[in-house]
């Protein structure tokens, strides 16, 4: 949660890294709408979480309006204080996340994802760090997703997966592979000669 200017700088830097924008100082005028959205989201979080002053209340309102407008433009319904640092939204398009969900750091999320509650208020997912969520995945209910899990495209996840670093897929989702995001990261590093 962003509670200070240092936290805000850290979250912004981690999001920038996750989006692959470290070479860019600021978002480009065109083609960086998702990065702009994430900056607005983080500033809205910051001004909502710090002690209330007249200035912070004003900026909270401004960033609330910008957050809503940019979200509508891109098709995102992402509330504040849900995602940890290092958020990577890959594409424009429908993304719906419940305000009570808790998602760890370095979440890599694609379009068409719905992270929501079951029947009762508060029955929402808790998702660990370094989770990859494929296009069209639906994750709902009072469940836990462990760190390092890759959620396959169009999966329906309605039960907990506590084993770390696995791949789950299907409707309903089940474990299909004994490796998760660690293997994906290694393959990406080899492909781009990062190691």
Show the domain range for 125: 90-185
Position 193 scores a pLDDT of 46
Average pLDDT over residues 34-56: 94
- Domain ends where: 77, 105, 140? 77
pLDDT on residue 183: 65
State whether 94 and 71 are in the same domain. Answer: no
> Under a CB-based contact definition with an 8 Å cutoff, are residues 174 and 155 in contact?
no
Q: Could you give the strand order of the β-sheet that contains 138-140, starting from the edge strand earlier in sequence?
A: 76-77, 95-97, 113-116, 138-140, 156-157
Give residue 191's pLDDT band: very low, low, confident or very high (50, 70, 90). very low
Q: Is residue 48 part of a domain?
A: yes
Question: Do 94 and 70 reside in the same domain of the chain?
Answer: no
Q: Is 102 helix (H, G, I), strand (E, B) or coil?
A: strand
Q: How many domains does the chain have?
A: 2
Output the DSSP codes for 160-193: -B-SSS-EEEETTEEEEES--HHHHHHHHHHHTT
In a domain, 129, yes or no: yes
Looking at residue 181, what is its pLDDT? Answer: 78
- Res 126 pLDDT > 80: yes
Residue 91: CB atoms within 10 Å:
14
pLDDT of residue 190: 37
When pLDDT is cut at 50, 70 and 90, the band that residue 186 belongs to is very low
Q: Long-range contacts of range 66-73, CB-CB < 8 Å, 24 or more positions apart? A: 66/40, 67/37, 67/40, 67/41, 70/33, 70/36, 70/37, 70/40, 71/37, 73/33
Q: How far is CA 67 from CA 39, 81, 180, in A?
A: 9, 13, 32
Residue 161 and residue 120 share a domain: yes
pLDDT on residue 188: 44
For residues 180 and 132, state if they share a domain. yes
* 94 and 179 inside one domain: yes
pTM: 0.88
What is the token pair recorded at 60? 């909270």
pLDDT tens-digit readout, 61-114 = 999 999 999 999 999 999 999 999 999 999 999 999 999 999 999 999 999 999
């Amino acid at each position: 949660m962003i509670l200070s200017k240092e936290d805000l700088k850290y979250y912004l830097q981690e999001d920038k890294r996750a989006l692959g924008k470290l070479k860019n100082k600021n978002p480009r005028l065109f083609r960086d709408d998702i990065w702009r959205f994430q900056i607005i989201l983080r500033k809205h979080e910051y001004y909502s979480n710090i002690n209330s002053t007249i200035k912070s209340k004003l900026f909270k309102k401004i960033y609330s309006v910008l957050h809503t407008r940019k979200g509508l433009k891109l098709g995102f319904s992402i509330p504040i204080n849900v995602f940890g640092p290092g958020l990577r939204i890959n594409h424009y398009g429908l993304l719906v996340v419940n305000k009570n969900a808790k998602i760890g750091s370095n979440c890599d999320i694609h379009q068409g994802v719905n992270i929501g509650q079951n029947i009762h208020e508060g029955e929402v997912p808790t998702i660990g760090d370094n989770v990859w969520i494929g296009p069209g995945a639906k994750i709902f209910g009072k469940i836990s997703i462990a760190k390092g899990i890759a959620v396959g495209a169009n999966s329906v996840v309605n039960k907990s997966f506590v084993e770390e670093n696995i791949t789950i897929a299907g409707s309903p989702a089940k474990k299909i592979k004994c490796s998760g995001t660690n293997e994906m990261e290694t393959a990406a590093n080899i492909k781009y000669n990062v190691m």
